[in-house]
Amino acid sequence: MMPILQMKSGDEGQRLDVMLVEKYPEVSRSFLQKWIRQGHVTLEGHILKQHYRINGKEKIIVADFEKTFSPSGRDGRSATKEGLSLPTQQASQDRLGRFILTESQFPAVPTVLFEDEAMLVLDKPAGLVVHPAAGHHGDTLVDWLKIMLAPHVLQQFPDPNRLGIVHRLDKETSGVILVAKTIQAQLSLSKQFQSRSVCKTYAAFVIGVPQVAQGIITAPIGRSKKDPLRMAVTPLGKVSETSFVVEKIFDMASLLQIQPKTGRTHQIRVHLAGYGFPIAGDRLYGGSNDWTEAMKIKRPMLHAESLEIEDPQTQKRKTFKAKWPVDMKQLLLKLKKTIPLLLLSCCLLNQSIAETTTTSSSATSKSTTKKSSAAYLRLKKEMDALRSETDDLTSQLADLKDQWDKLGASKRLHDLEQAISEINGKAVAGLSTSEEAKTQALDANRKVKSLQETVDELRDQLDRLQQRMTQKTGDAAEATPLSSHPKPMQADATSDKDNSRTAAP
């Protein structure tokens, strides 16, 4: 009997594939989308599309789904998601009751480094995509989480394509990645990444040798206008900062320890390529050449080695580390062999020159012809040239050793660089304070000028009032009979008027 899903008012507005994920949490969304595309989900005989919106009243039929996979897992059968056998209760389980997937069941299986009630720390293998995207569906880390995490954990997160993932790694980058199992943990970890309090350390093999033992690359990163798949250093990009330390130097490559302060897309790859030493095997940013092909490097040699965060539950700092993958270990062994092989080749070259000299000397002693003498001279010149090349190689090896010895001393400059950085910060802060004080002074000058203008206007008004009062006093004196005011009194009044006019200004 075909299962019938009766929709309710609470399902109104949902996409069909999202609704089926809620109804069948044990099945991945990519499998259900394929199930819909194959025409196994119908409504009144009509095949539905995965983007169909539920109206809350229909009865949807999922054809033959129960025969292929039971949500409760009691029948012991399993669904097939694009060739992937999903687990059932008969599959092996770990101590937490979750299904244990092998590489035959799920390609590029992550390794659990740590887990508690709040978060899950994984070692992501190279080749595993984190989120489903327009160019990639199925077999992502999100699909793996949908199988591994309990239904009550999955139901907390509104976006089924992100779940509790708080940061990301590129597809071909291996290493530590965090997954929150609660909303509270997701908020806590997200704030730490936004505030840049998370300490991320990467290991990378790069082509060439940096000119400095350590450095900080600060260059804005944005989407490339020429190629939308690439990121690039551009003035209109976002502020980005990456610090690096040279750990080891080899013949054609170097091993770096990298700590990105910001988390822009392809940040490490773009910064190192722009600085002149791209990551070995990074074909997108110039890290592929004859040497990488000879070394059989198939991907960018970049590994998220460690991650230090504040535990969302205990608020204590914790560090999680992921061991190097096999391909990076093999590359390290190959690079370590290059210097001994170079020394051995020099020794063999010297031995060959000595043997050739002995043979040639005995040959010339037996022959006295001009022809053999000319051959001997040519051979001697060739041996001298070989000796010169050997001396050059030995000198280069000595220079490399000196450079390696100097690296230890150059690391002592790190504290000085930090001090200079702090001084620059204080200087910038001082300039900012000076600008604020200058602005305040200009505002005060404007206010004083305004007050001065107001005082001048009041003073002019006072002068006009005094003039009017003086005029009225004179008019009153002229209107008064002469007999009532003796002449001496008039003289005094006139004198007072003159004094008042003189004192007015």
pLDDT of 207 > 90? The answer is: yes
Structural domain tally of the chain? 2
Is 501 domain-assigned? Answer: yes
Helix crossing, 326-366 with 370-410: angle to 10°?
150
Is 203 domain-assigned? Answer: no
Quick: pLDDT tens for 131-157. Answer: 776 555 567 888 888 878 878 888 888
Backbone angles phi, psi at 253, to 5 degrees: -150, 175
Closest CA to 230 of 287, 162, 176: 287
Range of the domain at 75: 1-87
Would you place residue 64 in the very low, low, confident or very high pLDDT band (cuts 50, 70, 90)? low
Quick: pLDDT tens for 357-371. Answer: 444 444 444 444 455
Is 279 domain-assigned? Answer: no
Give the residue from 59, 87, 115 where a domain finishes.
87
Q: What is the mean pLDDT of residues 200-218?
A: 93
Would you place residue 198 in the very low, low, confident or very high pLDDT band (cuts 50, 70, 90)? very high
| Residue 432: predicted pLDDT | 60
- Compute and round to an integer the Cα radius of gyration of the chain: 42
Mode of pairing for the β-strands spanning 84-85 and 111-115: unpaired
Would you place residue 69 in the very low, low, confident or very high pLDDT band (cuts 50, 70, 90)? very low
| Residue 6: predicted pLDDT | 80
Q: How far apart are CA 198 and CA 308, in angstroms?
A: 6
Q: How far apart are CA 77 and CA 301, in angstroms?
A: 41
| Residue 137: predicted pLDDT | 54
Would you place residue 351 in the very low, low, confident or very high pLDDT band (cuts 50, 70, 90)? low
Would you place residue 205 in the very low, low, confident or very high pLDDT band (cuts 50, 70, 90)? very high
Q: What is the mean pLDDT of residues 66-76?
A: 37
| Residue 257: predicted pLDDT | 96
| Residue 61: predicted pLDDT | 83
Quick: pLDDT tens for 445-470. Answer: 787 787 778 878 888 888 888 887 87
Quick: pLDDT tens for 103-119. Answer: 444 556 788 999 888 99
Residues above pLDDT 90, as percent of the chain: 26
| Residue 379: predicted pLDDT | 67
What is the per-residue DSSP string for 351-397? HHHHHHHHHHHHHHHH---HHHHHHHHHHHHHHHHHHHHHHHHHHHH
Backbone angles phi, psi at 217, to 5 degrees: -105, 120
Give the residue from 38, 58, 87 where a domain finishes.
87
Would you place residue 102 in the very low, low, confident or very high pLDDT band (cuts 50, 70, 90)? very low
| Residue 55: predicted pLDDT | 84
List active site positions: 170
3-state SS class at 5: strand
Q: How far apart are CA 66 and CA 54, in angstroms?
A: 22
Q: How far apart are CA 420 and CA 106, in angstroms?
A: 51
Would you place residue 422 in the very low, low, confident or very high pLDDT band (cuts 50, 70, 90)? confident
| Residue 374: predicted pLDDT | 63
Give the residue from 60, 87, 114 where a domain finishes.
87
Would you place residue 19 in the very low, low, confident or very high pLDDT band (cuts 50, 70, 90)? confident
Is 135 domain-assigned? Answer: no
| Residue 231: predicted pLDDT | 92
| Residue 66: predicted pLDDT | 43
Q: 373 or 249: whose pLDDT is higher?
A: 249
Is 93 domain-assigned? Answer: no
Q: What is the mean pLDDT of residues 480-488?
A: 48
Contact yes or no for 203/255 (Cβ under 8 A): yes
Residue 15: give its domain's CATH number: 3.10.290.10
| Residue 256: predicted pLDDT | 96
CB under 8 A, 24+ apart: contacts of 491-498: 497/470, 497/473
Helix, strand, coil tally for the chain in percent (to 5): 45, 20, 35
Is 492 domain-assigned? Answer: yes
Helix crossing, 16-23 with 29-37: angle to 10°?
130
Is 357 domain-assigned? Answer: no
| Residue 123: predicted pLDDT | 94
| Residue 121: predicted pLDDT | 93
DSSP 94: -
Is 51 domain-assigned? Answer: yes
